[in-house]
Amino acid sequence: MWLTILVAAGGSWAIKYAGYAVPARILDRPLVRHAAVLLPVALLAAIVTVQTFGHNQSLVLDGRVVGLGAAVVALRFRAPFIVVVVVAAVVTASLRALGWVS
């Protein structure tokens, strides 16, 4: 596990450093720039999906989806990051304590 962590973490740092070290003309191309904007959109959307509905290799509906819903409402009201995260946790924890969701 340590080796996996060091490769993943060291590589993540090297990716950051590449932006400073690699000549701009290599990275600064329309396709690379546009893909770099869309990659986090796709990957974050995918992780949100997996973290909300995933349970090992199956999809489940539980309290997490209510928390995410509350977070979306908070975001629409332009709540700051900290509020969005706390709202999601509190809503999910409360409904679980009441036994309304699993």
Partner 1 sequence: MASNQWLAVRARIARNALSIGGAVAVYGVSFGALGATSGLSVGQTCALSVIMFTGASQFAFVGVVGAGGSAIAAIAAAWLLGLRNAMYALRMSTLLDVGGVRKLLAAQLTIDESTALALAQDEEIESGRATRLGFWSGGLSVYVLWNAATLLGAVGAGALGDPRVYGLDAAIPAGLFALLWPRLRDREAWAVAGAAMCVAALLTPMTRPGIPVIATGLVAVVAALRALRRGAA
Give the footprint of partner 1 on residues 45-74 (CB under 8 A): 45-54, 56-59, 63-64, 66-68, 70-72
Q: What is the footprint of partner 1 within residues 7-26 (CB under 8 A)? A: 7-13, 15-21, 24
Q: Using CB atoms within 10 A of its CB, is residue 83 exposed (0-12), middle (13-18) or buried (19+)?
A: middle
44 part of the interface to partner 1, by CB under 8 A: yes
CB 77 to partner 1: min, Å: 12
CB 89 to partner 1: min, Å: 4
Residue in 61, 77, 86, 100 binding partner 1, rule: CB under 8 A: 86
Please name every residue paired with 58 in a beta bridge, in sequence order, or none if there are none: 55
